[in-house]
Amino acid sequence: MTAILIDGKGASQKLREEIATAVARLKLEHAVTPGLAVVLVGEDPASQIYVKNKARQTLEAGMASFEHRLAETITESELLSLIAKLNADPNVHGILVQLPLPAHIDEKAVIESIAPGKDVDGFHPENVGRVVAGEGGVVPCTPLGSLILIKQAVGDIAGKNAVVIGRSNIVGKPMAQLLLAHHCTVTIAHSRTPEIASVARTADILVAAVGRPEMVKGDWIKPGACVIDVGINRVAKESGEGYKVVGDVAFSEASEVAGCITPVPGGVGPMTIACLLANTYLATCRSVGAPPMEIF
Ligand code: GUN
């Protein structure tokens, strides 16, 4: 291994400490406690663990956490009326509806029902549009966390070639927009991109967000590149017993070529929740007209 390991766990902890300081100041100076409401529909075990971690870290940052666990069988209109209540609740500054939702619920209708000012995921079309236009807007948590790690590892990224593999609304597309806003030359590669390995090899900054275990091989990477692995894939262990979590990058090969690389787990993952807390803090500041502390 020659690459420098990017410590997402450490960076997440540092960011959460900064947010806790900023929240304490907001409480003192504006008498407001940021509140985050998380809505979980159904019993998906991975989502349950994720939601529990979110609630714990929300409280640790000095914020209020409101959890709504709903049965898999809830109707779309029942879910929409809960969101309408949360939109109107002055103690709730951020709303996150855990995805994916059961098939009988229209995800788009749910996302669009969240008040844009409380949309701490940045998935509402108004926020998507504002981010693309460079007019503020809420930046989705995973791309924001990735950008923070890239800037900490690389420094000034203006003029760098960035390749984002994956074009999802949650990661690929907003990641590309953020890199563009930071003056990178950006390429989005995806399943229909011919010669994808040679496209990836042009990258000074390579972000893999496809959800395919270890797809990005060592020879896809330009020597010295910064490699950000957004993938979290559960695969069977070689022994046949149990599972392990791997990213979208073949880590051991890639770390022989890259200049710096995020591990999975312990890279981008921990940054996602920290950025959710940052977005909740920012939403609270906007709602009370407080200037936000510079936290990144
Ligand atoms: N499910 C997996 N990741 C996310 C996320 O960032 N936001 C929401 N709302 N659901 C998710």
pLDDT tens column, 7-51? 999 999 999 999 999 999 999 999 999 999 999 999 988 889 889
* Residue 54 designated active-site: yes
Residue 91 has pLDDT above 70, yes or no: yes
pLDDT in the model for residue 75: 98
* Residue 85 designated active-site: no
Report, as an integer, the average pLDDT of 148-152.
Answer: 98
Over the chain, what is the mean pLDDT? 97
Distance CA 93, CA 98 (A): 16
Largest CA distance in the chain: 57
Residue 295 has pLDDT above 80, yes or no: no
pLDDT in the model for residue 46: 85
Report, as an integer, the average pLDDT of 223-245.
Answer: 95
pLDDT in the model for residue 39: 98
pLDDT in the model for residue 61: 98
Confidence of residue 286 (pLDDT cuts 50, 70, 90): very high
Report, as an integer, the average pLDDT of 47-66.
Answer: 95
Q: Please choose from 67, 86, 96 the residue to mutate so as to test ligand 1's pocket, defined by most ligand atoms within 8 A of CB.
A: 96
Catalytic residue selected from 7, 57, 98, 229: 98
Alpha-carbon separation of residue 217 from 78, 100, 181, 225 (angstroms)? 46, 29, 28, 13
pLDDT in the model for residue 159: 98
Choose which CATH entry (3.20.20.210, 3.40.50.10860, 3.90.45.10, 1.25.40.10) describes domain 30-127+272-288: 3.40.50.10860
Report, as an integer, the average pLDDT of 208-235.
Answer: 97
Q: Please choose from 38, 68, 98 the residue to mutate so as to test ligand 1's pocket, defined by most ligand atoms within 8 A of CB.
A: 98
Contact predicate 185/159, CB 8 Å: yes
Contact predicate 142/176, CB 8 Å: no
Distance CA 282, CA 291 (A): 9
% of the chain beyond a pLDDT of 70: 100
Strands (E) in 160-284, as ranges, are 161-165, 185-189, 205-208, 226-229, 233-236, 243-246, 260-261
CATH T-level fold of 141-270: Rossmann fold (3.40.50)
Looking up tokens 């999975």 gives: 264
Q: What is the pLDDT of residues 96-129, one digit of tens each?
A: 999 999 999 999 999 999 999 999 999 999 999 9
pLDDT in the model for residue 293: 87
Distance CA 84, CA 115 (A): 9
Residue 118 CA to ligand 1 center (angstroms) comes to 15
Is the CB of 97 within 6 Å of ligand 1? yes
Catalytic residue selected from 121, 204, 229, 248: 121
Secondary structure class of 233 (helix, strand, coil): strand
Secondary structure class of 8 (helix, strand, coil): helix
Report, as an integer, the average pLDDT of 245-259.
Answer: 98
Report, as an integer, the average pLDDT of 155-173.
Answer: 98
Distance CA 23, CA 293 (A): 9
Secondary structure class of 197 (helix, strand, coil): helix
Is the CB of 58 within 6 Å of ligand 1? no
Provide the phi-psi class of 129: left if phi over 0, else alpha when psi is between -120 and 50, else beta. alpha
% of the chain beyond a pLDDT of 90: 95
Report, as an integer, the average pLDDT of 267-290.
Answer: 98
pLDDT in the model for residue 1: 74
pLDDT in the model for residue 296: 64
Domain map of the chain by residue range?
Answer: 30-127+272-288, 141-270
pLDDT in the model for residue 74: 98
Residue 192 CA to ligand 1 center (angstroms) comes to 25
